[in-house]
Amino acid sequence: MKKRRNLILTLAALILFGGFLYYAQHTFNPYILRILNLCAVFTIFAVTFNLIFGYTGQFSLGHAGFAAVGAYVAALLTMSAAQKSANFFLKPIISPLANVEIPFLPALLLAGLFASVVGSLVAWPALRLRGDYLAIATLGFSEIIRILLVNLQPITNGALGLKGIPSYTNLYWSWGAALVCIFIIKSLINTSYGRAMSAIRDDEVAAEALGVSLFKHKMMAFAVSAFFVGVAGALMANLISTIDPKVFLFFLTYQIVGITVMGGMGSLTGSTIAAILYTVFLEALRPIESPFTIGPLNIPGIPGMRMVLFSILLLTVILFYRRGLMGTNEFSWDWLIGLFHRKDTALAAPTGGAEK
């Protein structure tokens, strides 16, 4: 009975959300649309990082590298031959790649697959390590990927980057991918695999003693995570329509870690909320960088002020809500309805309908 009610509510919410996307895509100006698209991209980044860190407990800093792989694969597959020859004016592109041009959907999937393969390759040797050591190893791999992008000039155009990537990304693609990503990761968490991952997070030794294969489950978390990071990277490339290796500096990983911690480790809802807050905040805070007057005070515009304010905000969240905005709680219909019934019991329910 309850299950059915939740299913109906979920479907209704999805239809409502679809309607909103349709309305937004047709009426909002490109500025708002761009921010909404970036929200979706960062949502995927944060949710996938949560799978590796929040649920499986592996502190990996390879996100920027995986995103770079996805972005470059999608960019090279969707650019027209003419655009490619214009881009590669210093060193020509290698021949089989020069004339490839495929639609966006297969390009997205290939970008994800490629990133997933790279993610697994990275994870294979790195997963023997734990904690801080794993973080350093994955950080190193992510840097290797970036250095390769800089030096493999006949494939990636090196530091010159790629421009004129067709801007296929719109709200349907970005939020569609984000919803699929959240749905799949939520489903995975609710299976026995997901439970095993949580067990690994809580205590590796105990989990292994219970017969959980550490390697298998860690690899699974990495592969699934890297797949969606690759897709998000591809969405980003086709959104800003120009990329170069500097887009995927370590700073990108920092941002993702910050968002996930702010949202709450072990909460997909938290990741989603924090990703949206982060992206929107960065833009909404722009006015404080231009000069303004408060009473007799004339404050000159200081570029970079919003980053300061944002950092303070992040600090506040970490200091007063150590577990992030949502802790390990998820949004669920039971919880929402419980809220209206003023039943405190519903709050603790960590499982339930996931789609937000």
Q: Which residues bind other proteins (CB under 8 A)?
A: 29-32, 34-35, 38, 86-87, 89-90, 147, 150-151, 158-161, 163-164, 167, 236, 239-247, 273, 276-277, 280-281, 283-287, 289-293, 301, 303-304, 307, 321, 325-327, 329, 339, 344, 347-348
Distance CA 5, CA 44 (A): 28
Q: How far is the CB of 253 from other proteins (least distance, A)?
A: 14
Q: How far is the CB of 338 from other proteins (least distance, A)?
A: 10
* Residue corresponding to tokens 């895509």: 25
Q: Which is nearer to other proteins, 11 or 32 (CB)?
A: 32
Q: Which residues of 63-76 are buried (b: 16+ CB within 10 A; e: fewer)?
A: bbbbbbbbbbbbbb
Q: Which is nearer to other proteins, 208 or 283 (CB)?
A: 283
* Residue corresponding to tokens 């978390």: 221
Q: Which is nearer to other proteins, 83 or 120 (CB)?
A: 83
Full DSSP string of 226-262: HHHHHHHHHHHHHHHSEE-GGGGSHHHHHHHHHHHHH
Q: How far is the CB of 10 from other proteins (least distance, A)?
A: 20
Q: How far is the CB of 219 from other proteins (least distance, A)?
A: 31
Distance CA 177, CA 58 (A): 24
Q: Which is nearer to other proteins, 109 or 285 (CB)?
A: 285
Q: Which is nearer to other proteins, 221 or 276 (CB)?
A: 276
Q: How far is the CB of 15 from other proteins (least distance, A)?
A: 22
**Integer Rg of the chain from CA:** 21
Q: How far is the CB of 325 from other proteins (least distance, A)?
A: 5
Q: How many CA atoms lie within 13 A of 119 on its CB side?
A: 33
Q: How many CA atoms lie within 13 A of 5 on its CB side?
A: 8
Q: Which is nearer to other proteins, 213 or 345 (CB)?
A: 345
Full DSSP string of 173-201: HHHHHHHHHHHHHHHHHHSHHHHHHHHHH
Q: Which is nearer to other proteins, 211 or 304 (CB)?
A: 304
End-to-end CA distance of the chain: 21
Q: How far is the CB of 302 from other proteins (least distance, A)?
A: 9
